[in-house]
Amino acid sequence: MAWTHSQTPPVKGHLPVLLPLRSMPQGLPLQDRLFNVWTASILVLALAAALITPAFAQDATPGRSAFAILLEWTPTLAKGFGFNVLISILSMAIGTVLGVGLGILQVSPLRPVRQVAWVITQFFRNSPWLVLLFYCILLIPFQIEVFGTKIPFPGWVKAVIGLSLPVMAYMSEYMRGAILSIPTGQWESAESLGFSRGQTLREIILPQTIKRVLPSWMNLYAVLTMATPLVSIVGVNDVMALTRAALSAEGRVDLLIPMYLYILCWFFLYCYPISALTRWLERKYSVKL
Partner 1 sequence: MSWTEDQPIVSLKDVHKSFGEVKVLRGVSMDIQKGEVICIIGPSGSGKSTLIRCINALNDIQSGSITVEGIEVSDPKLDKLALRKKVGMVFQQYNLFPHRTVLQNVMMAPIKVLGQNKAEVEQRARDLIRKVRLEGKEDAYPGELSGGQQQRVAIARSLAMSPDVMLFDEVTAALDPETVKEVLNTIKDLAADGMTCILVTHEMGFAREIADCVYFTDRGVIVESGPPATFFDQATDPRTREFLSQVL
Contacts to partner 1 by CB under 8 A: 183, 185-186, 188-195, 199, 203-204, 207-208
Question: Which ranges of the chain would DSSP assign to H, the alpha helix?
Answer: 30-34, 37-57, 66-106, 111-125, 129-139, 155-181, 184-192, 197-199, 206-227, 239-250, 256-288
Radius of gyration from C-alpha coordinates of the chain: 23
Q: In the complex, what is the shortest distance from the CB of residue 199 to partner 1, in angstroms, rounded to a whole number?
A: 6
User: CA–CA separation, 133 vs 48, rounded Å?
Assistant: 31
Nearer to partner 1 among residue 100 and residue 276 (C-beta) = 100
**CB 43 within 8 Å of CB 282:** no
Nearer to partner 1, 79 or 284 (CB): 284
- Residue 167 in contact with residue 222, Cβ under 8 Å? no
**Is 158 within 8 Å of 134 (Cβ atoms)?**
no
CB of 200 to partner 1, least distance (A): 10
How far apart are CB 136 and partner 1 at their closest, in Å? 37
Least distance CB 207 / partner 1 (angstroms):
5
Q: Between residues 54 and 207, which has the closer beta carbon with respect to partner 1?
A: 207
Nearer to partner 1, 141 or 207 (CB): 207
